[in-house]
Chain A
Amino acid sequence: MSDVVGLSAFDAAHAIAAGSLSAEELFEVYRARAASDRAAGEDGLNCFTWVAGEPPDADAACAQAPLEGVPLAVKDLFCTEGVPSQSGSRILEGYLPPYTASVVRRLRTAGVRLLAKTNQDEFAMGSSNENSAFGAVRNPWDRQRVPGGSSGGSAAAVAGGLAPWALGTDTGGSIRQPAALCGIVGMKPTYGSVSRYGMIAFASSLDQAGPLTRDVRDAALLLRHMVGHDPCDATSLQFPHQIELPSAERLDGVRLGVPEELTGEGIEAGVLAAFDASLARAQELGAEILPVKLPHAPHALSAYYVIAPAEASSNLARFDGVRYGLRAKDAADLLDMYTRTRHDGFGAEVKRRIMLGTYALSSGYYDAYYGRAQRVRTKIAEDFRAAFEQVDLIVTPTAPTVAFKLGEKTADPLAMYLNDFCTVPMSLAGIPAISIPCGLSHGLPVGLQIAGPAFSESRVLDAAHALEQSIRFELAQAHV
């Protein structure tokens, strides 16, 4: 049993293809582990909002598919036909979509089987997974600590050995930060490379799906089968080439840029120490470490907390009680039905962001807030373009701290927002970035973020692989 759980997704796929592992057995091992966590409730990690009752039938056409038989955990906000898709919200409790998200369909065609839906912050708004209507997720490294968010269920499930890999979404760091806090690999690809069709939206111009995996090769493998143009998503693009599985062991000639704006003030000492150690390792592997400037990066968080809530305020308007989801009972009239449905259905953080976003878009304030935030966003993208003329990749810590205690930051939204300080600039610029575990601080994982220009995923993955091979981070101790 445990040796099956020890397999990476890549190895499991190979074992199934070679006939040395039965897909049904693999699925059942994970299904049982996931089901027992779900049954444990507060005593478990609370990773899942739904677990498959039995192995789904493999699509006949998929018998020779590249990922045949590998179970996949999917963040709650991906629509899955006939399976609850609630985006962590009371307002969508029990909602069964009539269709499946494009990226999930694509992965099914590639052979994966839907194992479970993972818990998340409500509508992907949060950095600790404490904003879920279905309870907080716990960090497998320390159950008193948060797994990060908003893809906290996906990260905890992978780190805890409850799923071989998982899908998440990243708007301002929602894949990378929980990956860092749980000691796994998480990647946000170039904006537009993965279809958003069927992802319950938070902020449309920022949302991207990506993999959460145990190692870099699995991330590359899953991402390879996620990318591609989708005629149902006008913002999706054809990925210019196949994503290669990384093999690099060295970083000879690779110029790594270290932006002073994201590697100094506000970063915990233990995190900085692990980051510096990683830079030293990179140098040993042949990389050149260079300082770069991202002058507008310190304003990224402010711009992000205007743009994302503005889009969210509009994206979440459809949850009005008219067609699906929660509807307040015995409303006096239409307005009463709207206000009570939304009052009862949304959590505090979601309401806070709807109000922020509504205000930012209001007549008379639009230019001062939304307009200015968009100009800052343009400046940040220009900063990255300029930096990538001097360096190949940019490295930063993924999150300023290691996993913090449950409840530690819930009373202070601004402190919570600072979690995304290092990840938001890449989101605003739409560029790919990966987080890999680079060491421990106080016994908890630290994440290293590596970012590259648009569509440089293969290069980013190669560099991440070389560092990973050198760091030899040990994840097994987190397994439940």
Chain B
Amino acid sequence: MSEPPRTPSQPPAGGSTGEDRFEAVIGLEIHVQLATATKMFCGCELSFGEPPNTRTCPVCLGLPGSLPVANARAVHFGLMIGMALGSELAPRSIFHRKNYFYPDLPKGYQISQYDEPLCRGGRLGDVRIHRVHLEEDAAKLIHVGASGRIHGSDASIVDFNRGGTPLAEIVTEPDLRSPEQASEWLKLLRSTLRQLGVSDVNMEEGSLRCDANISLRPTGSDELGVKTELKNMNSFRFIERGIRAEIARQHKILAAGGAVEQETLHFDPASGAITSLRSKEEAHDYRYFPEPDLVPVAIDARMIDAARADMTELPAERARRLERDYALSAESAQLLGFRGELGDYFEAVLAAARAFPPASSSASLSEGRGEPAPPAQTLANWVAGELASRLDDGQGPADSRVAPGALATLVGLVAAKRVSVGAARQVLDRLVADGGDPEAIVEAEGLAAIDGGEELAAIVAAALAANADAAKRVREGNAKAIGPIVGHVMRETKGRADGTEVARLVHEQLGV
């Protein structure tokens, strides 16, 4: 068995408290909207910004006499999530009613799972999973008035389009120790869920929502401190900021000899303020009891097989495979594995590079030359480094104008020393802007590498003449002095010269 991969960034425990006396203990509760065709307990299609209250029916409006029927597809997705997290899948799980009054809850109860969830246990990366269960989303309340919250609003209106959307709630064990680690781990989870295809996992749109349970304890202690539950962190940045602010708040209390109170807190991303929603005494008694309108969810071999058949390779597995099969560095493999869109693109580029005939068809550049495909690590660097850095936030490489075959060709040209790295970067700029064929761009822009022949030798000679001082110092053994000479050559050649070849020629002509 291989070790589970560590999440990419893992600061030392307690790093964010600013002190070593306390360490933070963090667990997450993640709500994932499932990308089913219809709602959790009725046949309404899921809503994507339709006019309010147009995706509703007697069931999701909680009209008298209506009854829920569990969505088999949501159960299927729940099983896939359980498999991806290595959870134990319950042969029989049941839905409960969670009773409380609120205008976004039309039945006066939420159908959720309680003590017999669909999945128990598991692990993702270095974080253990407590459970995964299915439930229905609430409707959306819009508070009219200055406050934007129910208190102080002039009116509140309800849009039931979202009400009844299937949710998977994933609860972790309290294994996280810092805001950064929590955010990084959540990115791994998001990537995993996206790879599974069970959710859009878009935090801004609310299809991925995260609450954090946070407590502090003396560093080295095994006991858990009093925890608070922090809600409403709807971006990765806010998760880090919110958790950091709550750790600081608790730290201040404990450092002053006080005691943290168990309560539910609201994080306001605008002001960074943390306010209390309700204390332990005000906590709801949800009066959970088995939902009598539904039958138990019985998982049989056929359902397990169907879920398994729909499983795709998951980020952590992919990282292991990329590292093993292509000899990528651990860092590259993890980056490409965890960011599925980069991984997919990398594998497409790799396939294109390996599919090329020994020489490409472009006569002017490749005539008579047979070149091996560039190493996978080089391709990975170009995908995850050069290309990714040129894309907008949120844009995947597959959405760009750069075809995988084009990038493979470009990297091949560099590997064959027919285009310098500098020139290739210019070509890539053009590809990102306009797309096209790198060889044609090289041709049109005159970016082909200058061969190590007489043309380059003459330019080097001219550069030595123009930089006599530097040439003298190189001759005297000052290796760094070569910089201005190489720079001169690059200017003259518009970057088309190969730096290594230039240096070789400089040393040759100076006789050192």
Interface residues of A (CB under 8 A from B): 77-79, 85, 87, 92, 95, 97-99, 101, 196-201, 203-205, 231-235, 310-311, 313-314, 316-320, 322-324, 334, 338, 358, 361-363, 366, 370
**Chain B residues closer than 8 Å to A313, beta-carbon distance:** 99, 287
A77 vs B61: C-alpha distance when bound (angstroms): 18
The residue on B at minimum CB distance from A78 is B65
The residue on A at minimum CB distance from B102 is A334
Say yes or no for B150: interface residue by CB 8 A criterion: yes
Besides the known contacts A198-B66, A314-B108, A334-B103, 17 further A-B residue pairs in the complex with CB atoms under 8 A apart: A95-B64, A201-B65, A203-B292, A204-B293, A234-B70, A234-B293, A235-B293, A313-B287, A314-B287, A317-B101, A319-B64, A320-B108, A322-B103, A361-B99, A361-B288, A362-B287, A366-B289
**Chain B residues closer than 8 Å to A97, beta-carbon distance:** 58, 63-65
A334 touches B150 (CB 8 A): yes
A241 vs B278: C-alpha distance when bound (angstroms): 55
Contact of B66 among A197, A363, A366 (CB under 8 A): A197
B65 touches A318 (CB 8 A): no
Known: A314-B109, A358-B287, A362-B285. Is A204-B292 also a contact (CB below 8 A)?
yes
A362 vs B287: C-alpha distance when bound (angstroms): 5
A277 vs B150: C-alpha distance when bound (angstroms): 67
A319 vs B289: C-alpha distance when bound (angstroms): 19
A201 vs B68: C-alpha distance when bound (angstroms): 13
A370 touches B289 (CB 8 A): yes
- Which secondary structure characterizes the binding site on chain A? loop
Say yes or no for B97: interface residue by CB 8 A criterion: yes
**Chain B residues closer than 8 Å to A361, beta-carbon distance:** 99, 287-289
| Chain B interface category by residue count | 20 to 34
The residue on B at minimum CB distance from A196 is B67
Known: A197-B66, A200-B65. Is A317-B108 also a contact (CB below 8 A)?
yes
B106 touches A322 (CB 8 A): yes
Known: A232-B69, A366-B289. Is A79-B108 also a contact (CB below 8 A)?
no
**Chain B residues closer than 8 Å to A197, beta-carbon distance:** 65-67
**Chain B residues closer than 8 Å to A98, beta-carbon distance:** 58, 63
B294 touches A234 (CB 8 A): yes
**Chain A residues closer than 8 Å to B289, beta-carbon distance:** 310-311, 314, 361, 366, 370
**Chain B residues closer than 8 Å to A231, beta-carbon distance:** 69
Say yes or no for B435: interface residue by CB 8 A criterion: no
Say yes or no for B405: interface residue by CB 8 A criterion: no
**Chain A residues closer than 8 Å to B287, beta-carbon distance:** 313-314, 358, 361-363, 366
**Chain A residues closer than 8 Å to B99, beta-carbon distance:** 313-314, 317, 361
Say yes or no for B299: interface residue by CB 8 A criterion: no
Say yes or no for B295: interface residue by CB 8 A criterion: yes
The residue on B at minimum CB distance from A233 is B67
Contact of B65 among A79, A234, A323 (CB under 8 A): A79
Say yes or no for B158: interface residue by CB 8 A criterion: yes
B287 CB, nearest partner CB in chain A, Å: 4
Task: State which residues 102-122 of B face A: CB under 8 Å.
Answer: 103, 106-109
**Chain A residues closer than 8 Å to B69, beta-carbon distance:** 231-234
**Chain B residues closer than 8 Å to A310, beta-carbon distance:** 289
Contact of B68 among A85, A234, A322, A358 (CB under 8 A): A234
A11 vs B67: C-alpha distance when bound (angstroms): 36
